[in-house]
Amino acid sequence: MATSKTVKVECQCGCALLEYSKSGKGRLIKCYLANIRSDQVGLIDLPIGARPLCPDCGKRLGDIRMVHGKPALKLNQGAIKKIRL
């Protein structure tokens, strides 16, 4: 049975970006838009190909693309500061 937990994603500058319901183990590489719980950047409504920026420091957070047939934010690992489990 699949389990999921909520992780918190912040920019390196400390800006809170989103909370995500993550299933499975391992590093957070992508966030399916449908599983984002708290969207503080306005990611959920972005189109495929968009490249969202941190509202505070302007760093690119990643890009929106189709992953396994679902829209997801592929994270720019260099911009993500911490993930709290």
Tell me whether residue 34 or residue 42 sits nearer to Zn ion (CB atom): 42
| Least distance (Å) between residue 63 CB and Zn ion | 16
Rounded to a whole number of angstroms, the distance between the first and last alpha carbons of the chain is 19
**Which amino acid, one-letter code, is at 9?**
V
Tell me whether residue 34 or residue 56 sits nearer to Zn ion (CB atom): 56
| Least distance (Å) between residue 25 CB and Zn ion | 27
Counting contacts by CB under 5 A, is residue 9 touching Zn ion?
A: no
What is the DSSP-derived secondary structure letter of residue 72?
Answer: E
Closest CA relative to residue 41, chosen from 77, 75, 14, 15? 15
Q: Which of 11, 17, 31, 41 binds Zn ion (CB under 5 A)?
A: 11
Closest CA relative to residue 20, chosen from 29, 1, 63, 9? 9
| Least distance (Å) between residue 62 CB and Zn ion | 13
Q: Which residues bind Zn ion (CB under 5 A)?
A: 11, 13, 15, 54, 56-57
